[in-house]
């Protein structure tokens, strides 16, 4: 398809900083990929001098695939197309000495960091748990640490007497002792280095001659600083975003970065993409009317050249959440019967996860296949965490979190007393637990059985680590299950044969992924074993919510998870005060604005059919009493009345399905008596 005028302008302009305001469904990914191809083919940019940054591995993979189709795999391999965090990891690998890190440093996940902070609070700040649980105290501390890193603040920049600042300092010291970093460090540390070290900044200033950023509205302060540093010399970049789809302020995103960009770069070129290729005019006009109630630095108005205005947006009032769920199931069942759409063409969107429970029940009773996006991640399965911990430890023996997870997996008789002895010695020396296990002065006081069990673990570890470079690490992927007797361990610790087989299937899938990363594929070169483990560790953190299955099923998901997706028919449930907008956001500064953007994202996921529901009352135990009767959402009143169908009558498709069911029943009855 030919680019429209504004899309072509966004591709052609390369002389300075560029902001592309791309509305929902306006073809932003196509603009980015086309621009990269144009930089190479028409402007003689070398692929290795171009960097394209995204927020998910899925988006990066899609972008690379499109580019590969245009320029070939050999040239595409030379491009940097990755997430912000992947770029940060690459910088850390190259500059690790500046941070006192070894080459094989570990990446700690949320489970690891939670345990570290919880233990710090237990030992040094028990006062924080007087009025709260250990879990909540640890989570609050982690939230503050994440916020500070997102603002490019190190412990030294904070009030050293404050408890959370002290926790932050001890936490960073522990990470360093383990030769490890956390997820936020992947951007925090490189940004801090490039901001404070002139030599490093000069090296990386000249590394990329052109930088592109997707979903710019989701950048935080640190990511913005990284962009500025990377483009300091050439000042040639294109950021693509939509301030109306900024819905992640709770995790540090700053929609105001759009305004900051216009202040810091006076020659900023602003190009608007307003033609929508996804939704009907009626849906777009509803979305435009809703979002017009938010303030804008740059105004935009989505439009479509479709001749058919499309169906009215149906608004359905129900008695309670059970009636709502049954009606949604019935509407989808009837529509699917008439249109013969795939089940995956339907999505039910909600503000909070608890709303999925009654929906799942209704869909099950109606025999509608459905999948809840955001369920337990593949990487959250215990068997996957076990094997990844083993691989992490083989790559970095000083990864305490990994060692503590698998020192007794499979079981070999290493008890709490042994672990306590090793951990205590590690804290006293400031070195790793593995170092303590190698120290005769520490292990001499263990009982004979304890020494034997620990010795057995060390022998297994040393044998496996000696194979880390054998056949590029492929030997480990082929033999580790046998070496650890891990399948036997799973069979002895699973409740049913079905559970055992599922776990074995999972671990073999993981090993297959590692093998593919090492071997490489058509448009990507193979990785070393250590690089492959790093990649999977990062993938775990970035893609916890990604649904990579190809199941033909109705998608049940939160509005946050729906961003970037589209469906033929969307049902937006729970359009009530206290639900959407959420009760917790109503009194926050700019809270209503973000909730309105969230509703806007929901509306613009629909291509053809859109249904909005709300309940007169809710009985869900997870909702506070004062939420139950607050009435329809204020956002409903902001939609144009002439574009809404509030009749509350069943749709034609629902009626057709009902009569079809009657006909089918009669046919079955006649067959029974024939």
CB 95 within 8 A of CB 89: no
Is 605 part of the annotated catalytic residue set? yes
- Exactly one of 64, 467, 605, 607 is catalytic; which is it? 605
Is 203 part of the annotated catalytic residue set? no
Q: What is the DSSP track for 401-459?
A: HHHHHHTTSS--S--HHHHHHHHHHHHHHTS-HHHHHT-HHHHTTS-HHHHHHHHHHHH
Question: For residue 383, which of 314, 480, 474 has the smallest C-alpha distance?
Answer: 480
CB 98 within 8 A of CB 193: yes
SS (H, E, C) 591-615: HHHHHHHHHHHHHCCEEEEEEEEEE
Which one-letter DSSP state was computed for residue 81? E
- Exactly one of 8, 9, 12, 29 is catalytic; which is it? 29
**Residue 366 C-beta-side C-alpha neighbours within 13 Å:** 24
- Exactly one of 215, 324, 386, 547 is catalytic; which is it? 215
Is 199 part of the annotated catalytic residue set? no
Is 392 part of the annotated catalytic residue set? no
- Exactly one of 113, 231, 245, 274 is catalytic; which is it? 245
- Exactly one of 109, 112, 185, 214 is catalytic; which is it? 214
- Exactly one of 7, 28, 467, 609 is catalytic; which is it? 28
Can you say whether the dihedral through the CA atoms of 106, 110, 111, 116 is positive or negative? Answer: positive
d(CA 657, CA 635): 31
d(CA 326, CA 366): 9
Cα–Cα distances in angstroms (integers) from residue 258 to residues 176, 191, 195, in the given order: 35, 19, 21
Residue partners of 457: CB distance under 8 A and separation at least 6: 407, 412, 414
Is 215 part of the annotated catalytic residue set? yes
d(CA 363, CA 607): 22
Rounded (10°) angle between helices 28-41 and 5-12: 40
Is 552 part of the annotated catalytic residue set? no
**How deeply is 550 buried, as exposed, middle or buried, from its count of CB atoms within 10 A (0-12, 13-18, 19+)?**
exposed
In angstroms, the first-to-last Cα distance of the chain is 57
Cα–Cα distances in angstroms (integers) from residue 109 to residues 183, 541, 548, in the given order: 7, 7, 21
CB 486 within 8 A of CB 506: no
At residue 108, the 3 state secondary structure works out as strand
Question: For residue 574, which of 630, 612, 611, 619 has the smallest C-alpha distance?
Answer: 612
Residues labelled catalytic: 28-29, 214-215, 245, 605
């Amino acid at each position: 398809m030919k680019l429209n005028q504004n899309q072509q302008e966004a591709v052609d302009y390369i002389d300075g900083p560029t902001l592309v305001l791309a509305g929902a469904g306006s073809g932003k990914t196509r603009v980015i990929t086309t621009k990269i191809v144009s930089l190479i083919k028409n402007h003689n940019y070398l692929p290795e001098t171009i960097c394209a940054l995204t927020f998910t591995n899925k988006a990066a993979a899609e972008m690379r695939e499109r580019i590969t189709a245009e320029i070939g795999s050999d040239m595409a391999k030379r491009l940097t197309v990755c997430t912000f965090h992947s770029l940060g990891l690459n910088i850390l690998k190259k500059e690790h000495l500046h941070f006192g890190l070894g080459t094989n440093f570990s990446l700690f996940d949320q489970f690891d960091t939670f345990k570290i902070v919880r233990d710090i609070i237990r030992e040094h700040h028990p006062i924080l748990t007087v009025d709260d649980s250990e879990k909540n105290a640890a989570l609050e501390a982690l939230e503050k640490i994440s916020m500070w890193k997102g603002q490019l603040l190190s412990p030294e920049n904070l009030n050293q007497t404050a408890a959370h600042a002290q926790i932050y300092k001890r936490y960073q010291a522990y990470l360093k002792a383990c030769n490890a970093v956390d997820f936020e460090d992947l951007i925090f540390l490189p940004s801090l280095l490039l901001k404070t070290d002139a030599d490093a900044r000069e090296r990386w200033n000249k590394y990329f001659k052109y930088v592109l950023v997707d979903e710019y509205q989701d950048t935080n302060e640190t990511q913005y600083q990284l962009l500025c540093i990377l483009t300091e010399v050439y000042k040639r970049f294109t950021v693509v975003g939509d301030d109306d789809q900024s819905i992640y302020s709770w995790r540090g995103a700053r929609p105001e970065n759009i305004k900051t960009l216009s202040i810091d770069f006076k020659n900023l070129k602003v190009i608007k993409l307003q033609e929508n290729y996804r939704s009907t005019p009626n849906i777009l006009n509803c979305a435009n009317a809703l979002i017009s109630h938010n303030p804008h630095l740059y105004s935009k108005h989505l439009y479509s050249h479709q001749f058919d205005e499309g169906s009215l947006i149906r608004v359905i009032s129900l008695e309670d959440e059970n009636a709502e769920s049954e009606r949604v199931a019935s509407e989808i069942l009837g529509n699917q019967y008439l249109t013969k759409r795939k089940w995956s063409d339907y999505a039910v969107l909600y503000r909070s996860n608890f709303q999925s429970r009654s929906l799942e029940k209704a869909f099950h009773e109606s025999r509608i296949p459905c999948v809840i996006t955001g369920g337990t991640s593949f990487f959250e399965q215990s068997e996957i965490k076990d094997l990844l911990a083993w691989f992490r430890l083989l790559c970095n023996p000083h990864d305490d979190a990994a060692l503590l997870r698998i020192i007794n997996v499979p079981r070999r008789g290493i008890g709490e007393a042994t672990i306590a002895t090793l951990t205590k010695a590690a804290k006293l020396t400031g070195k790793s637990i593995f170092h303590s296990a190698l120290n005769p002065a520490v292990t001499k006081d263990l009982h004979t059985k304890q020494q034997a069990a620990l010795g057995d673990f060390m022998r297994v570890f040393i044998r496996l680590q000696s194979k880390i470079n054998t056949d590029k690490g492929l030997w480990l992927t082929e033999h580790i299950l046998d070496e650890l007797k891990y399948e036997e361990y799973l069979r002895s610790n699973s409740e049913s044969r079905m559970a055992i087989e599922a776990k074995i299937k999972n671990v073999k899938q993981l090993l297959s992924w590692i093998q593919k990363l090492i071997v490489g594929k058509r448009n990507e070169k193979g990785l070393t074993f250590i690089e492959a483990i790093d990649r999977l560790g990062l993938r775990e953190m970035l893609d916890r919510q990604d649904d990579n299955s190809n199941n033909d099923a109705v998608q049940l998901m939160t509005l946050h998870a729906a961003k970037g997706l589209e469906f033929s028919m969307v049902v937006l449930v729970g359009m009530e005060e206290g639900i959407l907008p959420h009760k917790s956001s109503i009194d926050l500064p700019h809270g209503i604005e973000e909730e309105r953007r969230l509703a806007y994202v929901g509306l613009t996921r629909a291509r053809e059919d859109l249904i909005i529901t709300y309940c007169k009352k809710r009985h869900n135990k997870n909702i506070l009493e004062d939420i139950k009767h607050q009435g329809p959402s204020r956002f409903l009143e902001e939609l144009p009345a002439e574009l809404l169908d509030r009749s509350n009558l069943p749709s034609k498709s629902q009626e057709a399905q009902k009569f079809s069911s009657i006909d089918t029943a009669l046919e079955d009855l006649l067959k029974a008596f024939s």
